Structure 1
Amino acid sequence: MTFQRLIALFPLFMVSVRGWEAPWFCHGEDCPQFTVVHTYEGFEERFYKASHWITVDVAITTEKEVVKALWKLFSYTKGANNENEHVNLPWPSFVSVEGDGDKNHGSVSWSVPVGTHLPKPNDATIRETDMPAATVYVRSFGGVATETNGRENLEKLKESIEAAGKSFVPDRFVAAGYDPPLRLIDRHNEIWVFAD
C-alpha cells in the first residue's frame, strides 16, 4: 500500500477507533454523535452525546428570522470575529423552537466539533452553548426544508410517537438541516422531539 493511500485512509481509521461512524447524511463532516436506540414506525429513538454549539436566539421562529440568524452565524464563520479568522463548522444547523402556536421563540445553532478554536464573535448576539446528552425521537425527510414541511413532519412525528406509546416534551422541538443551500441532491432534514 502506498503512503498516499495510507494517509487517505487515516480519517476512516480514526472514525472507527473512536467508535463513531457518522451516517451518510453527515457527508464526511464531524456531526453530533448519537446511537440509535430503537427504530419505530415513522421515527428513530436516538441517544445523543453532549455537544457544543454557537447560537443566536430568535424572538419568533419565522422563516425570515431563522434565515437572518443563519446569516449571522455564516458571517461569523467567514471572518466576522475578533481574529478575522475563517472557522470551519460542519452542518447540521439546528433551529430549536419552544412554545406553542404564535408564541414560539427559540434559537438557531451550528455544531462545533471537539477541539475547534472559536474566536470571539463581532456580533454580541452570537454565543456558545452546550447541549447536554439527551434522548430524542427523530423523523427524517428529504428535499428543501421549509417552515410548512417542517410543521407537517412535526405533526407526523408526534402522531407516530403517541402510536408507539412513548411520552415526549410537547412544547419543544428541533429542526435540523444537514445540507448547505447549494446542495441540490441527497438532502437530509430532521425533526427532533425530546423524550420526557
Structure 2
Amino acid sequence: MIFFAGLVVFLLLQTAEAGIGNSSESSFCTETNECLLFELVCQNEDYEVRHYDSLKWVSTNASSYFVDLSFMNSFRRLFKYLTGSNEDGANLDMTAPVVIKLNKKASFWQPHVYTMSFLLPSKYQKNPPKPTDDKVYFNHMSEMKVYVTSYGGWMLSSVAKRQAERLADLLDDAGAKYNHEYSYIVGYDSVMKLFNRHNEVWYEVEGEPVCPADN
C-alpha cells in the first residue's frame, strides 16, 4: 500500500514538473495531442500572469526586414525537423503553441531578429533526435513568469506589435517591472483553422508580478 501511494505521488510530481500535458487540459489547444501547460498566478480584465516550467524546445533563429514572410521559412525549417529531418529519421508530433521571441530593439532601418520555437513532445524532452539542419538547435527555456494578453485572428507581426504595445502601456500604468528588450508572440492554431483562433503576447516578469484587481 505504501509503495503504491509513493508511486502515485511520484507520478503526480513528474506530471507537475513536466509542464506538458494532454491538450484537453487547455482550452487553447484544439489541434494537437499535447500542449504547454501553466499555473495561473493572477489575472484581471486587462492581462494575466502565468508561471511556466523549464522545458526543452527545438528552435531556429532568423533576421529579416519582412518578418511575416520569414516566419513561414522558419516554420518550415522546424516542421521538417519534426517530420524526419533528424538523425533518427523520427517523426515527432506537433505540439502547441508556437513561440516567437522577438527582439524589440531593432530600429526601422534594421532587420528584426527573432527565435521561433516548437515545444518538444514529452516523449522527447530528455533525449530528442539531433537535427540534420545546422540552423536548428535545442533551446532549454528557463522557468519563468510572464504577463499575457490574448487576441484572436491571425498571428501577424503588425497585429502582435499593437497588442504588445497595448500590454506594455497597461503594465507601465500598473507599475509592473518586465523585460523591455524582447516580447513573445505565441500562436496556438494551424493555418487551416479559420475561426476561434487564439494568439497571445508575453512579457517576462521581473521581480514580483503586479496584477491589480479589476475596478
Which bin holds the TM-score, normalised by the shorter protein?
A: 0.7 to 0.9
Q: Which structure 1 residue ranges, 4+ long, deviate > 3 Å from structure 2? A: 17-21
Paired residue for 2:121?
113
User: Out of 43, 59, 63, which is 2:63 matched to?
Assistant: 59
Structure 1 unaligned segments of length 5 or more: list them. Answer: 1-13
Q: Deviations over 1:126-183 (max 9, x none)?
A: 0011111101000100111101111010011111112222111111110011011111
| Matching residue's letter, 1:113 | P
Alpha-carbon distance between aligned partners in 2 of 1:125 and 1:96, rounded to the nearest angstrom = 16
Count, aligned residues: 182
Normalization by structure 2: what TM-score? Answer: 0.77
Normalization by structure 1: what TM-score? Answer: 0.84
Paired residue for 1:139?
149
> Given that residues 160 and 201 in structure 2 are in contact (C-alpha distance below 8 angstroms), is that contact kept between their aligned partners in structure 1?
yes
| Matching residue's letter, 2:174 | A
| Matching residue's letter, 1:23 | S
1:98 matched to 2:103: yes
> Given that residues 106 and 113 in structure 2 are in contact (C-alpha distance below 8 angstroms), is that contact kept between their aligned partners in structure 1?
no
1:25 matched to 2:33: no
Structure 2 unaligned segments of length 5 or more: list them. Answer: 1-10, 207-215
Question: What is the deviation of 1:186?
Answer: 1.9
Tell me the SS of whatever aligns to 1:24.
coil
1:71 matched to 2:76: yes
Q: Compare 102-111 and 151-160 and name the one that shifted more.
A: 102-111
> Given that residues 154 and 191 in structure 1 are in contact (C-alpha distance below 8 angstroms), is that contact kept between their aligned partners in structure 2?
yes
Alpha-carbon distance between aligned partners in 1 of 2:118 and 2:152, rounded to the nearest angstrom = 20
> Given that residues 32 and 51 in structure 1 are in contact (C-alpha distance below 8 angstroms), is that contact kept between their aligned partners in structure 2?
no
